[in-house]
Amino acid sequence: MPDQSIPEARIAEASPGEAVSENASPREGISRRRLLGTAGATGLVLGAAGGAVGYASAPAGATPLTSLGEDMAMFHGKHQPGITEALQARGHLVAFDLAAGASRKEAAALLRRWSTTAQRLMAGEAATQDDTDVARDAGPSSLTITFGFGNSFFSRTGLEKQRPASLDPLPDFSSDHLDKARSNGDLWVQIGANDALVAFHALRTIQKDAGSAAKVRWQMNGFNRTPGATAHKMTARNLMGQLDGTRNPKPTESDFDKRIFVPASGSTDPAWMANGSYAVVRRIRMLLDDWEKLSTGAQENVVGRRKSTGAPLSGGGETTAMDLEKTDAKGALVVPINAHARIARPDQNGGAAMLRRPFSYHDGIAADGTPDAGLLFVCWQADPLRGFVTVQRKLDRGDALSTYIRHEASGLFAVPGGAAEGEYVGQRLLEG
């Protein structure tokens, strides 16, 4: 788990320098569910033709949505949503395989349906058909829905010549114990929201929209701390209790776009990937029973940072530069040579960096009595070979944390740039 993070904050409250999406929209955006929560006793939701549509008027005395519910990300934009937004409280990752006989035509129709659904749900509106009313009372709640293509998608649709070289399968790593049934897939969807019902509603709607064109290959559920649960904004903690991801790249950095997004020109990637990114998805099980037997000091030596504050063992605060050469009175390195934070640093990996946007998970207790819990690791980069692969190879050669984690599932997906108004995600690939 490389040492990088995203601030735990709502988009609407992000301060200068925080990860704020170009897809973010002002809170003034109106949706049918927002109107339901704010209209008076005689308020009606009006369609373009002026007739009442969707949900019924709100009851007398209805109170406005909280700020948590009204936060909204935009579907249309330069990049897809769900990449640079702040961590959300609830997440679902789901991969689909195209049905036997499904072609490029069926895939295009599916992405068109999914894009329409994503645009509506992210605006806090009901699905176009057979809405379940699960999210009826909620606002958009920072919902984001992101779509990507796996390596196998291109051969299934006859688009082999458009498959990026960056989608070549990831190499094997020593910490891999991968379940093939829960890895890869033709299509990948990432769903995040700050309300669990809003996230579930999106997941269920996307699954129904797939119809006979695609079936679920695997699905995983995750969570983060709810925005506002801490006295101040802070880096997220993982299930090991560590501040997880202090050195995440920030959009304010001059080379952020170069590291995270495929450029619109001058790239070896196909043109349809302009302004897109590559997502590496790993289900990383934390061996918590073994980890929790360690003293706090031993845990800090494994990571290279203080558990309480995230500060490097060499001193200072969370954002203080780590002194890799500092020694103690006995001449030993203060930050151990195999500490996770030391090995994962970009300056120890030729500048390799990735934008981490994970969710924690807990899927109950295994048959042996150990918790099936850990991290749904999602990282974004313009080139996975220079990003994830470079760092993971280094970690593979001696990261102290590797004793306490196990990679159980894996996927690599090409995530195209955002859809312009009137477009659907992947249109430039599927109709180019």
CA distances from 275 to 75, 122, 190, 357, 419 (A): 15, 21, 18, 18, 10
Rounded CA-CA distance 107/148 in Å is: 12
Type and span of the H or E element at 230: none
Rounded CA-CA distance 151/162 in Å is: 11
Rounded CA-CA distance 355/358 in Å is: 10
Answer positive or negative: Cα dihedral of 10, 147, 355, 184.
positive
Residues sharing a CB contact under 8 Å with residue 405, sequence separation 6 or more, in sequence order? 1, 175, 284, 285, 286, 287, 374
Q: Which residues pair with 371 in a beta bridge?
A: 365
Degrees to nearest 5, angle at CA 56 with 51 and 62: 125
Rounded CA-CA distance 148/279 in Å is: 8
Residue 259 sits at φ, ψ, to 5 deg, of -80, -35
List the catalytic residues.
244
> How many other C-beta atoms lie within 10 A of the C-beta of residue 158?
11
Q: How many Å is the Cα radius of gyration of the chain? A: 22
**DSSP secondary-structure letter at 67?**
H
CA distances from 89 to 121, 192, 223, 242 (A): 17, 7, 5, 18
Type and span of the H or E element at 150: none
Both structure tokens of 49: 């033709």
Rounded CA-CA distance 150/95 in Å is: 9
Question: Do residues 5 and 246 make contact, with C-beta atoms less than 8 angstroms apart?
Answer: yes
